[in-house]
Amino acid sequence: MKRIVIIGPESTGKTILSKNLAENFKTVWVPEYARKYVENLKRPYNYGDLIKISEKQIKEFNNNYSDVNKFIFFDTYLIITKIWFQVVYNKFPLFLDIEIKKSNIDLFLLCNTDIKWKPDGVRENPDKREELYNLYKTELENYNFNYKIISGVGKKRFENALKFLNELK
């Protein structure tokens, strides 16, 4: 089983891509937990909420998935959460760094910002997408993770991701 993590700034097609890739390979995808968590809050999120989100992401990542074929797809993971902590609070809990380092991830698909930003009530950084993209890319490089940049609109984005996955041994 290969663990594939889809990351990128807000509104770059991560969820659609994750879901479509899982359907294509007839396998499991793990939806973004942070979105669901924040949508259910009746107040602005805080530092403690991001801790809870991180803990749930770790639990979901380490779950023993039995119905997985060749791939399992994760819609976001701790690198995004780490950057979220840094951007909003100028700090992050050290356990994130430890968990990221020990993550057994075969490939990150980093979604480019070539899709138009759409507001949805949870998204908050339409003007920081390029900055966030560069922060994610830098983190992937700092951790020496295998990653591919996914660009293209609509079906082309999916096809580009599929090409990289088919090359993965």
Q: List pLDDT tens digits, range 38-49.
A: 989 989 999 999
Q: Report which of 94, 75, 92 is spatially closest to residue 83, judged by C-alpha positions.
A: 92
Binned at pLDDT 50, 70 and 90, residue 122 comes out as low
The set of residues, in sequence order, having a beta carbon less than 8 Å from that of 136 and lying 6+ positions away, is 7, 8, 9, 79, 80, 83, 110
Name the token pair of 165: 């996955």
- What is residue 121's predicted lDDT score, i.e. its pLDDT? 66
Q: Which CATH architecture has domain 2-167?
A: 3-Layer(aba) Sandwich (3.40)
Residue with tokens 């994130």: 96
Q: List pLDDT tens digits, range 50-68.
A: 999 999 999 999 998 887 8
Domain boundaries, the chain: 2-167
Q: Whole-angstrom Cα distance, residue 39 to residue 128?
A: 21
Q: Global pTM?
A: 0.93
User: What does the DSSP 8-state code read for residue 3?
Assistant: E
Rounded percentage of the chain residues whose pLDDT exceeds 90? 82
User: What does the DSSP 8-state code read for residue 154?
Assistant: T
- What is residue 5's predicted lDDT score, i.e. its pLDDT? 98
The set of residues, in sequence order, having a beta carbon less than 8 Å from that of 86 and lying 6+ positions away, is 92, 135
Name the token pair of 24: 């294509």
Angle at 111 between CA 154 and CA 53, to 5 degrees: 120
Distance of CA 146 to CAs 89, 121, 141, Å? 28, 32, 8
